[in-house]
Structure 1
Amino acid sequence: MIGNYFKIARRNLVRNKAFSAINILGLALGMACSLLILLWVQDERSVDGFHANGDRLFQVYERGFYDGKVEASYYTQGLLAEELKRVVPEVERASGLEQSRTVTFEVAGKINKADGSFAGADFFSMFSYPLVQGTTETALNTPEGIAISRKMAELFFGKPENAVGQTIRYQNQDDLMVTAVFEDLPANSSQQFDFLRSWKAYVKENQWVHNWSNTSPSTFVQLRPGADPAKVEAKIKEFIYQYTTKTAGSHTELALQPYPEKYLHATFKNGQVDGGRIEYVRLFSVVAVFILLIACINFMNLATARSTKRAKEVGVRKVVGAVRSALIGQFMGEAILLTFFAVVLAVMLVLILLPAFNELTGKRLFLPFGQPVFWASLAGLLLLTGLVAGSYPALFLSSMNPIRALKGRMLSARLGFGATFFRKSLVVFQFSLSMILIVGMIVIYRQMGYIQSKNIGYDRENLLYIPIEGDLVQKYNLFKDEAGKRPGILTISRMKESPTLIGHHRGDIEWVGKEPNLSVPFADAVVGFDFLKTMNLKLAEGRDFSRAFGTDSASYLVNEAAVRKIGYKNPIGKSMWWGNREGKIIGVLKDFHFNSMHQAIEPLIVRLDEQQKWGSILVRTEAGKTRKALTSLEKICKELNPNFPFTYQFSDLEYAKLYHSEQVVSQLANAFAFLAIFISCLGLFGLAAFMAEQRTKEIGVRKVLGASVPNIVALLSANFLKPVAIAMLIAFPVAWYAMNRWLQGFAYQIDLAWWVFALAGLLTVVIALLTVSFQSVKAALMNPVTSLRSE
């Protein structure tokens, strides 16, 4: 009997090639999309999930109360890790970790750059980064030691076994001994580095860590087995006030976040962890379900629409004794068989699309054919999709009255209306989902365009950053003089941080008339001469730093946000204090964005210092002559700083990195919206073809009676446009709510204009109309004689 069922299923597939192809292609596209998203979601959820001590690893974060606000960040005190381990019994291990930096190494004349940081002695005992050579106890226990990755060991020493005990030159300043070699970090680690130096070296190089009011590195703790994280968090809440005095107007608390959760939950709201990348994981999980549902709806629509073709078959089977459960099993089996072909095609599509998908998302995803879990998931997807797609058609066909079916009256008033209503409801549902995705695509695209085109207050075109390192620290003025003479280079300045992202803040800024209990963190920048000219920043009033004024080394520039916070009516010439350093305000900068547009512009204070030992050289090049300028800059750097490779970053590319996640989401939204509407139109195309076939004689009669081709096209198309119009009424409120909530994550955002929804609706109507019109015109142009003779 099973063999007979398969034979019938095969015959139906072959006999109805067009409808079978539409069903298989629609399901395959839906499943391919779902598989890609599933791979991406699994990869996102696997990040930092491989640490053996993961359930006991926590990252410390600070919650600051000041100026009537609550802010939180992962920046902590430099000595916090050591003190937590020493004072809190529940803390078994602890480690600081400074932000990753790019530095230059040299071994036997071979020079290369690598990214790395400083970490505590417990680091490799806490995190599961396997050591190829060395031990976790000795890897980071000396200031002169350094642990390097397998990649670095192979680059400089040939193989890891040759590296331990060897000397490596660091920044052309220090000779460090390799104490350990660790395995290259996996792609699903949120921490990425090629080397680590000991925390003792960090403390030695940064005397500010002894001031508990300063923060910069991250702090991680590993609790002892059985320790209650909530109780530990309560114990360390006021921990820093054992080492510093509380100040009026501000208050700082410590809190714990499970480390494996940090990657997906790294956004704070009112001092509490509130979202992050997890929102995109949830969003695309829903999108995957939506697109798969749209594909399943196509199957249901076409199967129920063509039910009359199999009415007599069902009637005969019932008359000869077939029970309903057997019929349901047969039709479900046919659905699963068709879904199997779709799964095979979907896997082939995924293999073709994975390289492009990986490039877009920055992942290294692959289909894990060697893992039983993958095959189990694929089987689950096959059964789930087959059951969902085939459930209603199976129930519908098996419920047919055998007498009506054999008499050809399957489309009775009751049954015909029910089937038609269900089909139209499914069309409404799938086009509602499609329009939600289209609105999302338009809004995300516009917001990304707004971010990229908005005047951020300075010109990021033709602006590049060169790191100040090696001999450039002492030879900056010589570099500036030499580079200023070369063609294509307009102006040069310097800055302690990158102007794209000023992350450093000070809480000790004072001014005349400041309330004693008011604490306001100011973003701070240390710059060189010609900073405003190089950045193309605008002054609201006052002047820039100038060599003509010897007192400018003790003067400040502030932005408009700072003036509003300070309250000075005429700020030029007024006094301010940067810690104990008093100075006069000589200029007010028009507000410019020095952080992501997720954040509002903060108060900023700028001071002059041409002797900073680190930072970036800012170079403004002439439009169209950047390549020539880079050639000149490289030559100068090789002459003045021969032990360091010439490196640089373009300002516009650094700015784009601030919105990498949003750019990926925008491109994925475009692809998924197109795919959703394409799959929906596949189903609509199939339905239009079937309805035109069902009304062939009616069309012939109408043409004989004088109906024109436009009349018939309008008649056939109208039935399909009504569900699309209803879908708009459902989709637009849902889309408005979803996109309005997404836009709340930006301090600067577009308006949700009415025309966005009108455009989405118009696009959907036009696409649906074009899809249906092809079959309508084809039917309308048919010879009426042929139409009336058709069976």
Structure 2
Amino acid sequence: MNTNYLKTTFRHLWRNRLFTGLNVLGLAIGISACWIIYRMVEYEYSFDQRLPDADRIYQLVSKSKDKNGREDGFAGVEKPVTNVLLNDVSGAELVVPMFYRYYNSVSMPENGKQTSVRFDREIGQVTTLPSYFDLIDYQWLAGDKKTALDAPDRVVLTEKKAREYFPDLTPDQMLGKTLIYDDTLHKQVSGVVAALDYTNSFNRDNTEFMRISEADLNEGSWGGMSSNDLVFVKAQPNTDPQHIVDQVNVFCRKFNAEQFAQYNFERWYGLLPLLERHFATNYGAQTRTVNKNVLYGLIAVGTFLLILACINYVNLSTALLPQRSREIGIRKTLGSTAGSLIRHFIGETFAVTLFALALSFLLTFVASKVFSVFLPEGMFDYVNYRGMLLFVLALIAVISLLSGLYPAFLLTKVSTVNVLKGQTAETAGRGRLSLRKGLIVFQFLVAQVFIISAVIMGQQLQYTLNKDLGFNKEAVVTVDVPYKTYNRPENKDKEFVLANELKRLPGFTGVALGDRPMDNRMMSNVHSYFRDTVEIQKALHMKMADTAYLRVYGLKLLAGRNIRPSDTINELIINEKALEIYGFSSPSEAIGEVLVTPYNGQSYPIVGVVADFHPMGLRSEIPPTAIASAKDRLHTFTIKLPRDPAQWQAAIQIIENEWKKVYPGVPFEYRFYDKFIEEYYESDRNTQKLIRAATGITIFISCLGLFGLATLTAFQRTKEIGIRKVLGATVSGIVGLLSRDFLKLILIAVVVASPIAWWLMNKWLEDFVYRINIQWWMFALAGVAAVAIALLTVSWQAIRAAMANPVDSLRDE
């Protein structure tokens, strides 16, 4: 582009500032969306890529199949598997167990006295073998990886954790310092390592590493698994990893044969490639995972927004063609070729794209703050300059070509003869409106799909939050006693001391101990019922509770009585679903019948039946559930607050004061139960917010394109409008005339989008067992919204054209 073309380009952009601004804004929004999504996708796909020999590293995972043929996966392993891999399996270069253990307190004694104590419910250590540091190559700030874990009393700290414990010491000075966990476990610091400087699915930067105990390696039974127990294997070069897992499965089948036969199911081990671990949502223990389908969906959203922005540019650019006809005619008369005109217009598009790119930096910053809840932590800390530069260059090239080629092609079709005769309207080519109208239909089709999706998602979320769950959740707070707290001998039975103190206080309408009725934690046991000669064996979802539980949560007792206090489980209350699967015809029939646990033969009489409630949310069916009482398993308080919300804060302060008397030094953390349930559906709420944001952006960009088409139409029909006004047409009649064609486009988009949105939302609602019915008014509401938005967009241009003085448009004739 020479200097003359550059001047002409900027003069044209400045002369048409409104259209230039709309183009820049539309493209900037598309670029910002694509940039954020690109950064997110690149970040997620970067995990573990820089780990040495990552293609030879696998996580050993558990797989199972029940008698109905349903397969499931689990990240944890049976403890004896580690010894099998170390001693009885060939083909593994490294075997690395990672057993996660948790402590409540750490003290740092110095000069014979304890100088600092830190309490944290989430202090976690990785217990492993020295081979861990061969698998993952850390930078050692102090210590030697060959000897750091050669004794059971050693601990290796990451730099962040070391600074937390010893803020005034250098890494070398930290070596040999003593840490005491839970006042009993003494460890000496034997190494300090820097945090890994690349994205990985292993450890955070505040981790502690200990030597795995002999008890963990040699004890434990086949059949028992925990998500805290993970094992990784590095295969020898040129070794088929399947050979390793086949050997492990021989032992798995051998030692679990009796259990497999008794419960009619299968379990075996598989190898999950490390490079797939970050995307394996079924095996996400101890690490954050992401669903690839979510990333694919985000890529699709970003692509759609970019395409819509380019369509918007095409529509706005072609709207200006009649005004540029004289310019193009003169250029062609003076010898400009079609190629030079195309290059000139592509250059204009390139300039607009650069302006949009500059604006997108501001929009990206704002969007990253507004939508931070959707962005993975650490995303903007990951920087790949080469990839980012290539993406930006590719994005600019794609936008310039997609947006500029069609308008540039139309410019070359301008008839010089018609221009010189003053026939600029015909030069624009009314017949070419068909493509532009098609683009408008496509834009509003996408917008309509988003509007319908937002309406249906909002209705489902409201249904989810307001549906009767079968228990009372209003004005209820819950407080968990930390595991390490209630597991200490000196805290035995203190839950009952605190519960009794709270019950004596005025204002509280109920205090109970037991599991939350609806929670994401699950425990189940298999129970058998013998009817004549037939054994009915089913798994019961178990809820631990005290005698106040039914009253505080308002669970309806259909037959029988409440449970009685007990040190161990000795009787059950079942729900209606359990009543059904065991074949009882009525609640009263079940009372007095006995359920037996097959693994120990213990019998439990059914003493009551309660109405069904939802223990697992509305995505799942109500499972067969039993309520039982065991004194040593009641560690969650449920407290009913006074009816007047104005008294709640004072009541919570009273609870905290009583808590501190019973559990001094233990943090008091409470949660309103209705808020807890709302958080249960946080992912659905975030999805709804994302759809709303995408809907708003799509509508905005679509309206920009519609505005351009309305401008073009008003320009082409200026003289027609003038004649109609001279002949007596009213302003409202002319506005209706100009708006009619656009309404047709929007209605076409509504008709085409509705079945697409219906199909997509039906697929989404399939995840909910309890769901709303998609109704006609949802589509009607979305259609009315789209029509109203379109009318507001075109009415300004239509009214402006209708209000214009007809003398101005007719005197040129």
Equivalences for 1:340-359 in 2 at 5 Å? Answer: 340-359=354-373
Superposed displacement of residue 364, structure 1 = 4.2
Superposed displacement of residue 742, structure 1 = 1.9
Matching residue of 1:112: 119
Q: Secondary structure at the match of 2:773?
A: coil
For residues 534 and 296 of structure 1, the distance between their equivalents in structure 2, rounded to whole angstroms, comes to: 59
Matching residue of 2:591: 572
Superposed displacement of residue 653, structure 1 = 4.0
Equivalences for 1:688-707 in 2 at 5 Å? Answer: 688-707=710-729
Matching residue of 1:271: none
Superposed displacement of residue 583, structure 1 = 1.3
Superposed displacement of residue 306, structure 1 = 2.0
Letter in 1 for 2:696: F
Q: Say whether the 8 Å CA contact 2:530–2:536 is kept in structure 1.
A: no
Superposed displacement of residue 299, structure 1 = 0.9
Matching residue of 2:637: 617
**Deviates most, 325-334 or 581-590:** 581-590
Change over 3 Å in CA distance of 1:258–1:701 after alignment to 2 = same
Equivalences for 1:607-756 in 2 at 5 Å? Answer: 607-612=628-633, 615-623=635-643, 624=645, 625-756=647-778
Q: Secondary structure at the match of 1:537?
A: coil
For residues 537 and 491 of structure 2, the distance between their equivalents in structure 1, rounded to whole angstroms, comes to: 37
Matching residue of 2:786: 764
Q: Say whether the 8 Å CA contact 2:576–2:609 is kept in structure 1.
A: yes
Superposed displacement of residue 427, structure 1 = 0.4
- Once the two structures are superposed, residues 129-183 of structure 1 have per-residue CA deviations (whole angstroms, 9 ceiling, x without a partner) of 6555445566666665554443332222225725443333434554444454454
For residues 381 and 741 of structure 1, the distance between their equivalents in structure 2, rounded to whole angstroms, comes to: 32
Ranges in structure 1 where 5+ consecutive residues have no aligned partner = 269-274
Q: Secondary structure at the match of 1:210?
A: coil
Change over 3 Å in CA distance of 1:125–1:599 after alignment to 2 = farther
- Once the two structures are superposed, residues 82-114 of structure 1 have per-residue CA deviations (whole angstroms, 9 ceiling, x without a partner) of 423433323333445557867343443433213
Letter in 2 for 1:717: S
Q: Return the match for 2:605 from 555, 563, 584.
A: 584
For residues 185 and 103 of structure 2, the distance between their equivalents in structure 1, rounded to whole angstroms, comes to: 15
Superposed displacement of residue 277, structure 1 = 2.2
For residues 233 and 412 of structure 1, the distance between their equivalents in structure 2, rounded to whole angstroms, comes to: 74
- Once the two structures are superposed, residues 6-35 of structure 1 have per-residue CA deviations (whole angstroms, 9 ceiling, x without a partner) of 122111101111111111111112212222
Q: Say whether the 8 Å CA contact 2:177–2:188 is kept in structure 1.
A: yes
Aligned CA-pair RMSD: 3.3
Q: Secondary structure at the match of 1:595?
A: coil
For residues 567 and 135 of structure 1, the distance between their equivalents in structure 2, rounded to whole angstroms, comes to: 65
Asked if 1:504 corresponds to 2:517, the answer is: no
Superposed displacement of residue 42, structure 1 = 2.5
Q: Secondary structure at the match of 2:520?
A: coil
Change over 3 Å in CA distance of 1:629–1:126 after alignment to 2 = farther
Q: Say whether the 8 Å CA contact 1:50–1:128 is kept in structure 2.
A: no
- Once the two structures are superposed, residues 299-352 of structure 1 have per-residue CA deviations (whole angstroms, 9 ceiling, x without a partner) of 111222222222233333334433322221111111111111111111121123
Q: Secondary structure at the match of 1:619?
A: strand
Q: Secondary structure at the match of 1:325?
A: helix
TM-score using structure 2 length: 0.87
For residues 587 and 434 of structure 1, the distance between their equivalents in structure 2, rounded to whole angstroms, comes to: 53
Matching residue of 2:178: 167
Superposed displacement of residue 544, structure 1 = 2.3
Q: Secondary structure at the match of 1:366?
A: helix
Q: Say whether the 8 Å CA contact 1:495–1:527 is kept in structure 2.
A: yes
**Deviates most, 281-290 or 178-187:** 178-187
Q: Return the match for 2:341 from 323, 327, 346.
A: 327
Superposed displacement of residue 586, structure 1 = 1.4
Matching residue of 1:272: none
Matching residue of 1:494: 513
Q: Say whether the 8 Å CA contact 1:97–1:117 is kept in structure 2.
A: no
Letter in 2 for 1:492: V
Q: Say whether the 8 Å CA contact 2:448–2:753 is kept in structure 1.
A: yes
Equivalences for 1:339-488 in 2 at 5 Å? Answer: 339-361=353-375, 363-366=377-380, 371-409=385-423, 416-461=429-474, 462-468=476-482, 469=485, 470=488, 471-488=490-507
Q: Return the match for 1:243 from 255, 269, 281.
A: 255
Matching residue of 1:604: 625
Asked if 1:540 corresponds to 2:550, the answer is: no
Q: Say whether the 8 Å CA contact 1:63–1:254 is kept in structure 2.
A: yes
Matching residue of 2:112: none
Matching residue of 1:284: 298
For residues 600 and 238 of structure 1, the distance between their equivalents in structure 2, rounded to whole angstroms, comes to: 36
Q: Say whether the 8 Å CA contact 1:164–1:180 is kept in structure 2.
A: yes
Q: Return the match for 1:219 from 230, 236, 259.
A: 230
For residues 188 and 445 of structure 1, the distance between their equivalents in structure 2, rounded to whole angstroms, comes to: 35
Superposed displacement of residue 239, structure 1 = 4.5
For residues 768 and 405 of structure 2, the distance between their equivalents in structure 1, rounded to whole angstroms, comes to: 43
Q: Secondary structure at the match of 1:632?
A: helix
Q: Secondary structure at the match of 1:350?
A: helix
Q: Secondary structure at the match of 2:64?
A: strand
**Deviates most, 531-540 or 720-729:** 531-540
**Deviates most, 227-236 or 587-596:** 227-236
Q: Say whether the 8 Å CA contact 1:492–1:530 is kept in structure 2.
A: yes
Letter in 2 for 1:91: A
For residues 147 and 111 of structure 1, the distance between their equivalents in structure 2, rounded to whole angstroms, comes to: 18
Matching residue of 2:41: 41
Superposed displacement of residue 287, structure 1 = 0.9
For residues 127 and 736 of structure 1, the distance between their equivalents in structure 2, rounded to whole angstroms, comes to: 49
TM-score using structure 1 length: 0.89
Matching residue of 2:88: 87
Ranges in structure 2 where 5+ consecutive residues have no aligned partner = 109-114, 284-288
Q: Secondary structure at the match of 2:77?
A: coil
- Once the two structures are superposed, residues 632-676 of structure 1 have per-residue CA deviations (whole angstroms, 9 ceiling, x without a partner) of 232223222224333334434443443333322211111111011
For residues 282 and 812 of structure 2, the distance between their equivalents in structure 1, rounded to whole angstroms, comes to: 65
Matching residue of 1:25: 25
Q: Say whether the 8 Å CA contact 1:354–1:366 is kept in structure 2.
A: no
For residues 787 and 102 of structure 1, the distance between their equivalents in structure 2, rounded to whole angstroms, comes to: 83
For residues 222 and 68 of structure 2, the distance between their equivalents in structure 1, rounded to whole angstroms, comes to: 25
Matching residue of 2:318: 304
Matching residue of 1:525: 543
Q: Return the match for 1:313 from 322, 327, 334.
A: 327
Equivalences for 1:131-280 in 2 at 5 Å? Answer: 132-136=141-145, 145-158=154-167, 159=169, 161=171, 162-183=173-194, 189=200, 194-196=206-208, 198=210, 200-201=212-213, 203=215, 209-224=220-235, 225-237=237-249, 239-245=251-257, 246-248=260-262, 249-267=264-282, 277-280=291-294
Change over 3 Å in CA distance of 1:716–1:235 after alignment to 2 = farther
Change over 3 Å in CA distance of 1:495–1:344 after alignment to 2 = same
For residues 202 and 655 of structure 1, the distance between their equivalents in structure 2, rounded to whole angstroms, comes to: 41
For residues 349 and 658 of structure 2, the distance between their equivalents in structure 1, rounded to whole angstroms, comes to: 70
Q: Say whether the 8 Å CA contact 2:84–2:248 is kept in structure 1.
A: no
For residues 149 and 590 of structure 2, the distance between their equivalents in structure 1, rounded to whole angstroms, comes to: 50
For residues 748 and 303 of structure 2, the distance between their equivalents in structure 1, rounded to whole angstroms, comes to: 22
Q: Say whether the 8 Å CA contact 1:598–1:745 is kept in structure 2.
A: yes
**Deviates most, 168-177 or 282-291:** 168-177
For residues 296 and 328 of structure 1, the distance between their equivalents in structure 2, rounded to whole angstroms, comes to: 17
Q: Say whether the 8 Å CA contact 2:517–2:614 is kept in structure 1.
A: no
**Deviates most, 194-203 or 356-365:** 194-203
How many residues are matched?
779
Superposed displacement of residue 516, structure 1 = 8.2
Superposed displacement of residue 782, structure 1 = 2.2
Q: How many percent identity over aligned positions?
A: 28
